[in-house]
Amino acid sequence: MTISETTAGTVPQAQATSADAPVPAPARRINLMDKAPDFYQAMFALDKAAARGLDPMVRELVRIRTAQINGCAYCVDKHSADARTLGLSEQKLYGVTVWRETPFFTARERAALALSEAVTALGAHGVPDDVYDEAAALFDEDELPRLIAMCVTMNAWTRIGVTCRLSPAPRA
């Protein structure tokens, strides 16, 4: 994942006052890439390690769902675009928020989405056994650790995005 500069807070005043113009995002609080580059490089390395050997579509679905749950607009935008580049259909992309109620996802994708949700919203008792067991049954001994690592890594990324108020730049 690459978090680039955004245009948050830079909408010209004339545009910002139009009722039909997009409302600018809140201003970024801090740019960690500039202020803590060693930390950022470690995050990039962690992300790369988590993704190694994991199906790219599963990887992006986990990233999107985690970002949705954590409210990271930057990550939802970035990973939705990345998933589209990989060939994810619009229908399937729109269905990520309601994946349990759709027929669009494979058993592996559903297990990855369920694990992502459980890792992201840890309850008092952690990740439920049935969620973990389903993922363990569908992902082999090399894939399962990468799936778990991606869930953990994406939660770190989204917490950076939300805390720093990263916002996606509007596309033309």
- pLDDT, residue 29, reads 86
- pLDDT, residue 21, reads 85
Give the model confidence (pLDDT) of 71-112 as tens digits.
999 999 999 999 999 999 999 999 999 999 999 999 999 999
Give the model confidence (pLDDT) of 39-60 as tens digits.
999 999 999 999 999 999 999 9
This prediction has a pTM of 0.86
Res 4 pLDDT > 70? no
In order of 40, 84, 148, the CA distances from 153 in angstroms are 12, 21, 9
